[in-house]
Structure 1
Amino acid sequence: MSQHQIQNQTEIQTQTSIRVRPAAASDMDGMWTIFDAVIEAGESYPFAPGTSRAACADYWFNPRSTSFVAVDAGQRVLGMYKLVPNQMDLGAHVANASYMVSPAARGAGVGTLIGRHSLDEARRQGYLAMQFNYVISSNQAAVALWKKLGFEIVGTLPKSFLHARLGYVDAYVMYQLLIEPAAWPAPACR
């Protein structure tokens, strides 16, 4: 068995004990722990270190967002994502999403699980495409995952992120059609 096959088998076995479900207010302690660790690292999100718990709650539980958590059998939050329209009104058919995985759960397939779940959920909610506006180029695991799940880099924002260790680095805009345009509903013309 190749290393790749072993890795995929391990990922599948790990994911079978992890469930993705809608986030609830009772998940906030676990979500905050992850959010705080990711933000304090200063490597993948534009939030400043020291961002408050209230700002975290507003980010994940606002009226425009639908948030989900990946939990283990004991209901411990291992990761989370949210879906939101990328733009208002005439751009609302394109989803945007944000993801965070607990540093303790990295490498266990949680990112892949919530990534796939988010694509299915976006389709279920009627989105026709998904766009990530700000994927940090030095976050190689995220870039590789999104490419594996069908996203393409459609733009580069030169030196737009101030990385805690690397200084100014690029960010990518990544995009994926969720449904072939030939199958999109006809737009209502005025």
Structure 2
Amino acid sequence: MQIREATAADWPAIWPFFHRIVAAGETFTFPTGLGEEEGRDWWLLAEPDRTVVAVDGAGTVLGTAKMNRNHMGNAAHIASASYMVDPTHTGQGVGRSLCEYSLEWARGAGYRAMQFNAVVATNSNAVRLYESLGFEVVGTLPEGFHHPVHGYVGLHVMYRLL
């Protein structure tokens, strides 16, 4: 697997799983009816932020990550990131690789910490992955997310020093 900078040419490969994940409404706080153009604008970030794709040897996009400054001003030293793995490629280490890559990117860009603002508490795979990489839940907004199956569930804020 290779992780490289995403380009506009990657969007047609990202959009089908991006749309499927967002429309399911189980893990992201994006509007479930988010359209393709708006989704592209939200996901494909310009420098100094970064969006990458994980691809296999044949060039198939397996997943993607966007990395950015989480705060401005005197808190601009905190990074954030979001990840999406094509559901047909889960369980293959794509999410872990993207998360590790984003941590290295943030460290290299001079950030001191990374914070995830809204990790859905029922997204146990993501919570376990982030905790295994040194993140901790520093707070939970009770009933902060309306899950289509589980009803109102918590939204974790997760954090780790770099």
Partner of 2:42: 59
CA distance in 2, matches of 1:20, 1:68: 7
Q: 1:169 aligns with which of 147, 153, 160?
A: 153
CA distance in 2, matches of 1:164, 1:30: 26
From the two aligned structures, give the one with the greater strand fraction. 2
Contact 2:45/2:66 (8 A) holds in 1: no
Partner of 1:112: 96
CA distance in 2, matches of 1:43, 1:28: 22
Select the structure of larger CA radius of gyration: 1
TM (norm. structure 2) is: 0.96
Partner of 1:185: none
Deviation at 1:69, TM superposition (A): 0.6
CA distance in 2, matches of 1:117, 1:102: 17
CA distance in 2, matches of 1:62, 1:100: 15
Partner of 1:78: 62
Partner of 1:88: 72
Deviations 1:77-112 (A, max 9, x none): 111111111111211110011111111011111011
CA distance in 2, matches of 1:138, 1:31: 24
Alignment identity in percent? 44
Partner of 1:150: 134
TM (norm. structure 1) is: 0.82
CA distance in 2, matches of 1:172, 1:88: 21
How many residues were matched structurally? 161
Q: SS state of the match for residue 95, structure 1?
A: strand
Deviation at 1:47, TM superposition (A): 1.5
CA distance in 1, matches of 2:45, 2:68: 10
Tell me if 1:35 matches 2:6: no
**Unaligned runs of at least 5 residues, structure 1:** 1-17, 179-190
Amino acid at match of 1:43: E
CA distance in 2, matches of 1:58, 1:115: 21
**Unaligned runs of at least 5 residues, structure 2:** none
